[in-house]
Structure 1
Amino acid sequence: MANQTEVKEIILVGFPGLKVEFYIPVTLVLLLIYMASLSANGTVISLVIMKKRLHKPMYVIIANLAFADLLFDTVTLPKLIAKYWFGSTMTFPECLLQMFLVHFLNTTDSYIFVLMAVDRYFAICKPLRYPTIITSRVVAMSCCTCWVVASSTALTALVMNSQAPPCGYNKINTIMCTNIAVTALACKDVSLIKKTTFVFAMFIQFVPLSLITLSYIIIINIIRLSASSETWRKAFYTCSTHLFAVTVHYAPRVLVYTANEVGLVLNADVGVFVLCLYSYVPHISNPIIYCLRNKDIKETFMNSAARFMSHRVKSNFLPNTVTK
């Protein structure tokens, strides 16, 4: 108990092999990534909320995905940047809170990907029944369910890890508080925590991934049999880009959890690289894959930008006219 109370703060190591002379360039890149995510996902959320044209089931799902990604980046990146700029640390409860939010938002992403796949399945394979099955009410309730169920699984990890506080060693050798990183600090036996969280993680990864893969296999097969060659190429390109986003989200997570379960210790730098790969790359690419290539969102964005620029030009021109 004495050793447990000695740990007053948790220190994020960040990028383990990073030399001091690279602190500023790396943190500027992180800041740029955060600003890009903030701009892209914030724009998507604002457009879906403000434009009635986008008050459709698919865009509501996309807005939920953008909101989860934006929250995740806000929870992790500013804290990491502050670590390098100001040397800031966190308490164990703060680390637990970040861990909860990290797993909660990642799980929400997984469930929302399933909703998107289901939406595309009915839109392409059951187009006549789509308006009666995928309604705004159904999508709103489904999105709420995703958030609630995701919070319950993350809460389980939070409660279990809170029973195994750190003692002695207080450095987390990565860029954020995760379940694997927090359990590594505990002095007591955490085998039950590891097994429980591994089962949850595999369920969260493999069940949604299986449903998504199955839906896209059916979609691609139906398009291949019924569409012209040009339409087939466009549809296949769209599905392949969606599957790329899904693969980047799921595959590295499965690798990390499996390696931890079997006792395979990844190199610290490799582990951080993989964590960055599946944490931040999708959050920047998702708005491009799901939104900026979408005709409705692209036209809405361009029209809004054109009206904004027109308003700015008029506001700058009118004072000169009055003076003359």
Structure 2
Amino acid sequence: MTKINESSEKHFILIGFSEYPRAEFILSLFASGFYTMTLTGNAAIILVSILDSRLHTPMYFFLRNLSFLDIFFTTSIVPQMLVNMWGNNKISYLCCMVQLIVALALGSTECVLLAVMSIDRYVAVCWPLRYTTIMHPRICRILAAISWIWGFGNSLFQSSLAIVLPRCGHRRVDHFFCEVLIIIKLSCVDTRPTEAKMFAPRLLILIVPVSIILTSYACIARAVIRMKSAEGRRKAFGTCASHLMVVFVFYGTVMFMYLQPKNNYSQNQGKALALIYMIVAPSTNPLIYTLRNKDVKRAIRKILWKDSTED
């Protein structure tokens, strides 16, 4: 028991990409660049969707939630990652556990929120005349709250199981952040019972939202095919394409990482996948939604034009 308490008071050593010292500097520039894009792009979406009254719709309410989520998701990872790459590869036990809980909570919340956004798109395309009634602001707030509560609940359950495992002095974390699968690997006892308990909620937080997304878009595809107007089909496809691209990038990497058999798991592969869904994906979301969205581009031009005329 003494050894466990002593290890809890010490720092963890984040190995990160230290085995590739020449590439580490390039990776730090890569992470800094994408982190800056994440902050500016998502902050711009939040600001524009608040300032332009035409964007006060359920779609942009959920998009603001996603942008807010992505900002804090990457912030929970990237600053500490850069500190480690620039020389200090230690992180305190408390900071490591906070990072584990927060990153897992925000990642889980995004899984559910993307499913909620697919429901919004389903109602918009398949029930256009009843859209404002069904997607009432109160319903939107409830759905967003469910996403956050479900995400943080999943994190607290899985994190609590990982944190109580004895580590017997093991402090080398073979990753660039404190990730739940890696923390479990530090344990000096049989972790199979713990991993079995984690598998059900992990499956729930991934499979249920994916099932909702697939069902929603199957119904959307059927509705679009039945449309007689080519303009209507083009508009319906345009409103859904951006969301589908975000879903593909995020879920593709997360499911490949967390649901593959343990004996097929490669740590370097896990680091590369984590870079994609934690750093690259949040920075590309604003580009995907703005470049393919006429409403957002029009709102940005309106704000910039108004500011320039005032000057």
Is the 1:220–1:239 Cα contact (8 Å) retained in structure 2? no
Residue in 1 that maps onto 2:14 = 12
Deviation at 1:98, TM superposition (A): 0.7
Aligned residue for 1:187, secondary structure, equals coil
Once the two structures are superposed, residues 5-59 of structure 1 have per-residue CA deviations (whole angstroms, 9 ceiling, x without a partner) of: 342111111125422x333222111111100000001111122233333221111
Give every structure 1 segment of 4 or more consecutive aligned residues whose post-TM-superposition deviation is greater than 6 Å. none
RMSD over aligned Cα, in angstroms?
Answer: 2.0
Whether the 8 Å contact between 1:40 and 1:287 is mirrored in structure 2 is yes
Give the AA of the match of 2:41: A
1:123-147 Cα offsets, whole Å, 9 max, x none, are 1101111111101111012111211
Return the offset for 1:231.
4.6
Distance 1:231 1:126, change over 3 A: closer
Residue 121 of structure 2: aligned partner = 120
- Segment drifting more, 166-175 vs 201-210: 166-175
Partner amino acid for 1:267? Answer: S
TM-score by length of 2: 0.92
Q: 1:255-308: per-residue Cα shift (whole Å, max 9, x none)?
A: 22233xx43153332221111122223212222223442222211111112223
Letter in 2 for 1:56: T
Label 1:101 to 1:301 Cα distance change in 2 as closer, same or farther (>3 A).
same
TM-score by length of 1: 0.89
| Mapped pair 1:249 → 2:250 | yes
Code of the aligned partner of 1:41: N
Deviation at 1:66, TM superposition (A): 0.7
- Contact 1:23/1:84 (CA < 8 Å) preserved in 2? yes
Indicate yes or no: 2:291 matched with 1:289: no
What SS does structure 2 have at the residue aligned with 1:175?
coil
Matched residue, 2:278 = 279
Letter in 2 for 1:55: H
Task: Tell me if the contact between 2:114 and 2:247 (Cα under 8 Å) persists in the aligned partners.
Answer: yes
CA distances 1:119-176 after superposition (whole Å, capped 9, x unpaired): 1111110111111110111101211121112111111122222211432321111121
Gaps of 5+ in 1: 315-324
Describe the superposition over 1:180-224 as per-residue Cα deviations: whole angstroms up to 9, x where unpaired: 011111123322221122211111111110110111111112111
Query: Structure 2 vs 1, CA of residues 236 and 48 (structure 1 numbering), >3 Å: closer, same or farther?
Result: closer
Paired residue for 1:47?
Answer: 48
The question of whether the paired residues in 2 share the 8 Å contact of 1:54 and 1:296 is answered with yes
1:310 and 1:23 mapped to 2: Cα distance?
45
Moved more, 198-207 or 238-247: 238-247
CA contact (8 A) 2:18 2:24 kept: no
CA distance in 1, matches of 2:181, 2:235: 41
Q: Determine the structure 2 residue equivalent to 1:3.
A: 3
* Corresponding position of 1:207: 208
Q: How much identity, in percent, do the aligned residues show?
A: 29
- Rounded Cα–Cα distance in structure 2 between residues aligned with 1:43 and 1:50: 10
**Between Structure 1 and Structure 2, whose CA radius of gyration is higher?**
1
Question: For structure 2, which runs of at least 5 residues remain unmatched after alignment?
Answer: none
Aligned residues: 309
Report the counterpart of residue 299 of structure 2 in structure 1: 300
**Structure 2 Cα separation of the partners of residues 67 and 102 of structure 1:** 14
Which stretch shifts more, 189-198 or 30-39? 189-198
- Report matched runs for 1:160-309 at 5 Å: 160-229=161-230, 231-233=232-234, 235-236=236-237, 239-259=240-260, 262-309=261-308
| AA partner of residue 14 (structure 1) | G
CA distance in 2, matches of 1:16, 1:270: 15
Which residue identity lines up with residue 4 of structure 2 in the other structure? Q
CA distance in 1, matches of 2:297, 2:284: 15
Residues in 1 aligned to 2:245 and 2:295: alpha-carbon distance in whole angstroms:
22
Structure-2 change in CA distance of 1:165 and 1:55 (3 Å)? farther
SS in 2 for 1:128: helix
1:297 partner letter: V
Contact 1:72 1:102 in 2 (8 A): yes
